[in-house]
Amino acid sequence: MKKFFITTFACVLGVLIAGLLFTMLSVAALTGMVATTETEYTAKPNTILKLDLGVVSERCQEDYMGLLLGSQQKTDGLDNILKAIETAKQNKNIAGIYIDANGMAMGIATLDRIHRALEDFKESGKFVYAYADNYSQREYLLSAAADSVILNPVGAIDFRGLTGQVTFMKGLYDKLGIEMQVLKVGTYKSAVEPYTNTRMSEANREQTMAYMTPIWNHLLEKLSQDRNLSVEQLNNLADTLLITVDAQELVTKGLVDTLMYRPQMEQFLKSKVGIDPDDDLTFASVSEVASIKQASNKAKDKIAIVYAEGGIDMGESNGINTAELVKDLMKIERDEHIKAVVLRVNSPGGSAYGSEQVWAAIEAIKAAGKSVAVSMGDVAASGGYYISCNADRIFANPATLTGSIGIYGIIPNLEGLLTGKLGITFDGVQTNKYGNFGSAGRPMTPDERRQMQNYIERGYELFTSRCAEGRNMSIDAIKKIAEGRVWDGTTALEIGLVDELGDLDAAIEWVAQEAGLEKYNTVTYPKLKTAMEQLRDDFDLNIKSRIAASYLGENYKYFETLQQIQNIDPIQYRMEDIELY
């Protein structure tokens, strides 16, 4: 036993000392990083804005921990990307845009918005060229907006239509001895299926095809205009497994304009900006161009843009913390200079309780006489729709996934893991019948399950009533399009779940008109973390994980699973995790 404590203490102390040294070194490194990122960039003549996008989220938040650890994953914010493209359009020293398609990852609605920004940029008469060694499908769909799409002579295009795939965890939970006790309302509420099934239900298969098809058609219509090929031709090409086709044949088929190796592409760009072949090209990054200051706006009136991105109270470091979000909304309600609000929602939902708190805060802002619009991003479903439904006007992108008006509850039964695998047993006494209800060490009784199902159904009635009130529809009309079903943005407009197809800029313009504002500033919430705040939070999580892993050894995998399960709010307004690619 003495040796055990000495070993454990040594592990913990070693981690702490390493962490302290890492922190001291990090402070010095961060000082230089922050100074670099906060410096305003000045574009030289013949500068080219280089779009070599990585993982694109709603807002730009520099990953300082990733930079310190040498992470290769690049992250970009949609806000910065759009700002950079607009600045490049106006700045006389920026000659054009070069899309270097090399590992982009973004939602389809996000892709659609950047595509539209590139189309707008081209009205300036400046060039847009795209190059890739190999184009993924999303990279190609975005790059098709360029004046010329250029490919490496031995490259390929992965263009094969949309696929929706769900990861099912039931087999893993069965092996671990975990039973996920599920209660739900909604035939199409498929978020629980990964816990209970090993394949998609017919209802989920039906709804997924129903929203994927119009999204794919929307993408094909855009691509048809970009490449001057019919939608029928494009569908036929998608059915030929293009990734195996010779690059020269892709030129013949009209999917790319020419083939070049990277050194040739560099010389091509030099000729376009009119510099000597021996001179170096001047590229500017998204963050650099976005940092170029624009003419100051001294208007006192403001429009608040409130970002709600990620799971709702799901314990995610970058998700929606409703307690903090409600605080921000209360500040906005009281701020006399803020005349209107746009809630930018990019969320699959989450906690039922948290969703209701945000709904109430939005209601209070409206009661204060301020117009509220919602701008939906890639997804605004289930709890994401709950917090949107009472806005004065809802804007969605055609590729937005929304709806999923349904509810479910999950209470894990860990008896098989704790008792069957780890040998942990439970016993105790209680003064009343339901004293140990919710215990993870036993299954629910039939009586408990019945009462929980009644509780879930009351939650569904509240959700549908909120939607009916917000959308000025009857409860029956809402329930016909509810049942947990997910819809694409275009169909959501047809059935009354949204008011207009458009993005964040359209929502801002609408609330400005509603508030009678000709001149205004925008302010964004929540406040982005500083470099030190981000490092502190990431470091804290890292240290806790290392200590737990050192102490638990091979049992750490069970601890991780238990931690994930414990973080789940038992009652959820959340759509399924489905990957479209």
What is the per-residue pLDDT across 146-177, written as a single tens digit (0 to 9) for each?
A: 999 999 999 999 999 999 999 999 999 999 99
Instruction: Give start and end residues of each alpha helix (H) in 228-351.
Output: 231-238, 247-252, 262-273, 286-290, 322-334
How does pLDDT run across 94-143, given as a tens digit for each residue?
A: 999 999 998 899 999 999 999 999 999 999 999 999 999 999 999 999 99
Q: Given this model, what pLDDT does residue 213 score?
A: 97
Q: For the residues 84-96, what does the mean pLDDT come to?
A: 97
Q: From CA 9, how far away is CA 17, in angstroms rounded?
A: 12
Instruction: Give alpha helix (H) positions in 104-201.
Output: 108-122, 137-143, 170-176, 193-196
d(CA 22, CA 28): 10
Q: Pinpoint the residues of the chain covered by CATH 3.90.226.10.
A: 2-162+205-290, 302-580
At residue 27, does pLDDT exceed 60? Answer: no
Indicate the residue type of 272.
K
Number of H helices, E strands in the chain: 22, 22
What span, in angstroms and rounded, lies between the C-alpha atoms of 274 and 45? 11
* The CATH classification of domain 2-162+205-290, taken from the options 3.90.226.10, 2.60.40.10, 3.40.630.10, 3.40.50.1970: 3.90.226.10
Tokens of 15: 């981690």
Inter-axis angle of helices 202-227 and 108-122, to 10 degrees? 10
Can you give the pLDDT at residue 298? 81
Residue 270 sits at the vertex; the CA angle it makes with 265 and 273, to the nearest 5 degrees, is: 125
CB count, 10 Å around CB of 27?
Answer: 12
The residue-averaged pLDDT of 242-269 equals 97
Per-residue pLDDT reduced to its tens digit, 372-388: 999 999 999 999 999 99
**pLDDT one-digit tens code per residue, 208-240:** 999 999 999 999 999 999 999 999 999 999 999
302-580: CATH topology is 2-enoyl-CoA Hydratase; Chain A, domain 1 (3.90.226)
How many whole angstroms separate alpha carbon 286 and alpha carbon 290? 6
Distance CA 410, CA 436 (A): 17
Hey, is 179 helix, strand or coil?
strand
Between the ranges 3-17, 248-262, 558-572, where is the mean pLDDT highest? 248-262
pLDDT surpasses 60 at 3: no
- Supply the pTM of this predicted model: 0.88
Question: Per-residue pLDDT averaged across 474-494, rounded?
Answer: 97
Size (the chain), residues: 581
- 38-67 burial code (b ≥16 CB/10 A, e <16): eeeeebeebbbbbbbbbebbbbbebbbbee
Task: Calculate Rg over the CA atoms of the chain.
Answer: 26
pLDDT of residue 127: 98
From the list 331, 329, 355, the residue with the least C-alpha distance to 342 is 329
pLDDT at residue 4, rounded to an integer: 45
As a whole number, the mean pLDDT across the chain is: 89
Q: Are 427 and 395 in contact (CB under 8 A)?
A: no
Three-state SS annotation for 221-262: HHHHHHHCCCHHHHHHHHCCCHHHCCHHHHHHCCCCCEECCH
pLDDT at res. 332:
98
Residue 198's closest CA among 164, 169, 176, 163? 169
What tens digit of pLDDT does each residue of 39-84 get? 789 999 999 999 999 999 999 866 555 555 555 567 899 999 999 9
User: At residue 406, does pLDDT exceed 70?
Assistant: yes
Tell me: pLDDT of 5 over 50. no
Q: What is the mean pLDDT of residues 524-553?
A: 66
> Measuring CA to CA, how many Å separate 393 from each of 366, 367, 384?
12, 15, 15
For residue 444, how many other CB atoms are within 10 A of its CB? Answer: 18
Confidence of residue 538 (pLDDT cuts 50, 70, 90): low
| Structure letter (DSSP) for residue 153 | T
Say how far apart CA 256 and CA 148 lie, in whole Å.
7
Name the β-bridge partners of 152: none
Would you list the DSSP string of 474-516?
A: -HHHHHHS-TT-EEEHHHHHHHTS-SEE--HHHHHHHHHHHTT
Active site amino acids = 189, 382
Q: Contact, 126 vs 89, CB < 8 A?
A: yes
| DSSP alpha helix (H) spans, 38-169 | 64-68, 78-90, 108-122, 137-143
61-66, Cβ contacts within 8 angstroms, sequence gap of 24 or more: 61/318, 61/528, 61/529, 61/534, 62/33, 62/37, 62/531, 62/534, 63/534, 64/30, 64/33, 64/531, 64/534, 64/535, 65/534, 65/535, 65/538, 65/539
Confidence of residue 266 (pLDDT cuts 50, 70, 90): very high
pLDDT digits (tens, 9 = 90+) for 275-331: 999 999 999 999 999 999 887 788 899 999 999 999 999 877 679 999 999 999 999
- CA–CA separation, 186 and 147 (whole Å): 47
Kindly tell me if the per-residue pLDDT of 35 is higher than 70.
Answer: no
pLDDT at 258: 98
Contact 190, 201 (CB under 8 A): yes
